[in-house]
Amino acid sequence: MSDKKKLDEQEELKSQEEQAQQEGSELLENPEALAEQIEKGEEFVSKNKGLLGGVLGVVILAVVGIYFFKGSASREEEKAQKAIYPIQYFFSQDSTNLVLNGSDSLGIAGVASVSSEHSGTKAANLAHYYAGVSYLKEGQSEKAIAELQQFSSDDLLLQGRVYALIGLAQLDLDQKDAAIASLQKAADYKPNAQFTPSYLFALAQAYEAKGDYASAASSYGKIVSKYKKSDLYNEARKMKARAEGLSN
């Protein structure tokens, strides 16, 4: 690759990163817009495209990384944030290979370098999330679980989603009991009308995979009784009736 082409690519990446950061900052000032942006990606299990594929349709955009960093000011945090910005861009573009492996031509390391070289920072924590989701998309469920289990947060958006992703990866590995436990964590985490119905639906389908139709009906029933405005409400009613029939 010529020096000019390499420079052009670096300049383009820098411009795209700056645009993503600007858009993220604007969304942070408007919580309703942030919620709408996340909802645009929602193609959860209700569309019957498979549990794992469905939850990956709800991957939260890289803008959440900017939300995650708000208020960080230490020098090490600033260095870590600078290191993860290219990863955030690759993640938002669904470039899982670049997230995981980086780009030698652009002089950008993969996500593992952020989590190892900047351990203890918010960027390193978020790097585990990006790595875990990317491994899931690559079909590497064991590696995905290992990364996601190292992520932690107390915010509404990410932690519940991570519990769900871990559960669906465990289900992909036929670890049904572990999957049910993780999905139950997701459903119990800061219950809200926006995300909890999806977690309950996934939990119900995990129970069905185990053959526990009574518990599946109970999980569907929580959507029916508590989240009547959810897009999953009608589907949950049908699936509840079906599960109740199978449990008798």
Q: Where do the structural domains in the chain lie, given as residue ranges? A: 3-40+61-156
Q: Given this model, what pLDDT does residue 108 score?
A: 86
pLDDT of amino acid 153: 86
Residue 157 to residue 60: CA distance in whole angstroms: 8
Given a cut of 50, whether residue 219 has pLDDT beyond it is yes
115 has pLDDT over 80: yes
The lowest-confidence range among 44-48, 131-135, 150-154 is: 44-48
The reported pLDDT for the residue numbered 2 is: 59
Closest CA to 169 of 154, 182, 153: 182
pLDDT tens string 160-192: 989 999 999 999 999 999 999 999 999 999 999
**Confidence band of 157 (pLDDT split at 50, 70, 90):** confident
Helices within the chain (DSSP H only): 3-28, 31-40, 51-56, 63-69, 75-92, 96-101, 111-117, 122-137, 141-148, 158-172, 176-188, 196-210, 213-226, 233-247
> What is this structure's pTM?
0.75
- Residues 6 or more apart in contact with residue 70 via CB below 8 angstroms: 28
- DSSP annotation string for 128-146: HHHHHHHHHHTT-HHHHHH
Instruction: Output DSSP code: residue 47.
Output: G
